Amino acid sequence: MLVKWIRCTVVDRRGFERGQRKWAGLLGEPGFRGQGGGWSRKRPDVAHVFAFWESRAFYDSFMARSHDRLAASQSGTYKDIQVKLFDHLFDVKTGFEPIFTDADVVRVAHCKVNAERAEHFTLMQQKVWNPAMAGSPGMIRGLFGEAPGDEFLVLSMWRSAAEHGKYQVDRVERLLLRAQTDDDVAAIAGDIVQMEPTWTV
């Protein structure tokens, strides 16, 4: 599965939201699995969208045919857009499905990992982080993805912002030490995304 993460700074919020609803046109596209998104809880002008495709071939075909027509309705509503593509490596918890209806917030972590530590980082994700997240109250599902250049994406869906906050306070610092994350990671950027139900396709 291919994961597309879009992050942009919005200059016309109402226009952007109106345009976001037009992406319902993705339904019926060959290979399309689902899409959802919302607003950053840290920066109210930043929007995140997550889209899921069966494969790179289906995604490339969509980009060549229908993408520009759907995207036109949001033209001029945002600036500095960043788009990243990741290959799904494994699930966090069990059988990941791109369903957003039961999630209040999504935590996204984008990690640039030191090349010689990529294997260790991936192993620690499986052995340390995954079990800790999977066992945390309110954590619904998630995935771990990889992009060329030792870049990784950790996406986790939570039933409430409060439950994610409790996990952060209670466990994250201890887990960072146990997984030796500081040795693995060259740079990490993350956000908490408040899901917007009307953006779900």
Residues 165-191 pLDDT 10s? 999 888 888 999 999 999 999 999 999
Position 159 pLDDT exceeds 90: yes
Mean pLDDT of the chain: 95
Nearest-10 Cα torsion for 145, 164, 99, 29 = -50
Contact predicate 82/8, CB 8 Å = yes
- pLDDT recorded at residue 10: 98
Position 95 pLDDT exceeds 90: no
Read off the pLDDT of residues 17-26 as tens digits, 9 standing for 90 and up: 999 999 999 9
Residue in 132, 160, 147, 144 with CA at minimum distance from that of residue 92? 144
Cα–Cα dist 133/180, whole Å: 17
In the chain, the domains with their CATH numbers are: 2-199 (3.30.70.100)
Residue in 2, 75, 65, 1 with CA at minimum distance from that of residue 28? 65
Percentage of residues of the chain with pLDDT beyond 70: 100
Position 93 pLDDT exceeds 90: no
Residue in 178, 185, 195 with CA at minimum distance from that of residue 109? 185
Sign of CA dihedral 87, 91, 187, 184: negative
Contact predicate 130/93, CB 8 Å = yes
User: Could you tell me where the DSSP H helices lie in 36-106?
Assistant: 56-65, 67-71
Read off the pLDDT of residues 141-155 as tens digits, 9 standing for 90 and up: 999 999 999 999 999
Read off the pLDDT of residues 79-88 as tens digits, 9 standing for 90 and up: 999 999 999 9
CB atoms inside a 10 Å sphere around CB 161: 15
Rg for the chain, CA atoms, rounded: 17
Position 29 pLDDT exceeds 90: yes
